[in-house]
């Protein structure tokens, strides 16, 4: 098997696509939650922001791409907001399905609460939004991350996420 090219900085198109999908999930989530009152989507968007910031604080500051254009642009954001951490700590973080559940909740929460709304009163637009967030939040993100991992220098150095997602169980 031929070794794939490794990106020092990711192409802008890929970074834009990743962020469009992430923003799409957040905005669809807020839209789906809107019928619960303005506080619910507002709290949801705050949660999304906090999860993104947690990623910067607990992962990006230790990553090879700190200060560089990684697949989602967070390496550059981390360098502007936070002090660089010890790269050796990147592999020390425990990365399990349980530890990433809070990130999955960004898509799961609107799906579940949207399904409840659909049971109360069916609406085609709401159904389309719930399906769209399900697609953007899971299979589409999987494709983007699969592409990103293929060209990632941190994967070569060592990445707990790559180890988790590449397990064949």
The answer to the question of residue 106 being in a domain is yes
Are 151 and 10 in contact, with CB atoms under 8 Å apart?
Answer: yes
pLDDT in tens, 57-88: 999 999 999 999 999 999 999 999 999 999 99
Q: Of the candidates 94, 92, 85, 95, which has an alpha carbon nearest to the alpha carbon of residue 64?
A: 85
pLDDT band, very low/low/confident/very high, at 3 (cuts 50, 70, 90): low
The answer to the question of residue 69 being in a domain is no
For residue 2, pLDDT beyond 80: no
d(CA 122, CA 162): 39
The answer to the question of residue 75 being in a domain is no
Mean pLDDT of the chain: 93
Domain of 106 in residue numbering reads as: 21-58+95-165
Distances (CA, A) of 82 to 56, 63, 90, 116, 154: 8, 12, 15, 39, 19
The answer to the question of residue 46 being in a domain is yes
Name 161's Cβ contacts closer than 8 Å, sequence gap at least 6. 95, 149
Whole-model pTM above 0.75?
Answer: yes
pLDDT > 70 in the chain, percent: 96
Number of domains in the chain: 1
pLDDT in tens, 132-169: 999 999 999 889 988 999 999 999 999 988 888 776 54
For residue 18, pLDDT beyond 70: yes
The answer to the question of residue 63 being in a domain is no
DSSP secondary structure letters along 136-154: HHTHHHHHHHHHHHHTBHH
What does the pLDDT read at residue 1?
A: 42
């Amino acid at each position: 098997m031929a070794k794939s090219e490794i990106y020092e900085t990711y192409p802008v198109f890929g970074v834009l696509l990743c962020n469009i999908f992430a923003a799409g999930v957040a905005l669809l989530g807020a839209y789906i939650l809107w019928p619960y009152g303005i506080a619910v989507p507002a709290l949801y968007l705050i949660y999304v922001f906090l999860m993104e910031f947690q990623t910067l604080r607990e992962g990006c500051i230790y990553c090879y791409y700190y200060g560089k254009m990684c697949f989602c642009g967070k390496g550059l954001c981390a360098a502007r907001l936070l002090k660089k951490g010890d790269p050796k700590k990147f592999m020390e973080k425990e990365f399990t399905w349980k530890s990433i559940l809070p990130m999955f909740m960004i898509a799961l929460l609107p799906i579940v609460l949207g399904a409840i709304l659909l049971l109360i009163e069916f609406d085609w637009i709401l159904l389309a939004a719930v399906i769209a967030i399900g697609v953007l939040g899971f299979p589409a993100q999987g494709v983007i991350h699969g592409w990103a991992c293929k060209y990632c220098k941190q994967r070569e150095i060592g990445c707990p996420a790559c180890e988790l997602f590449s397990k064949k169980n």
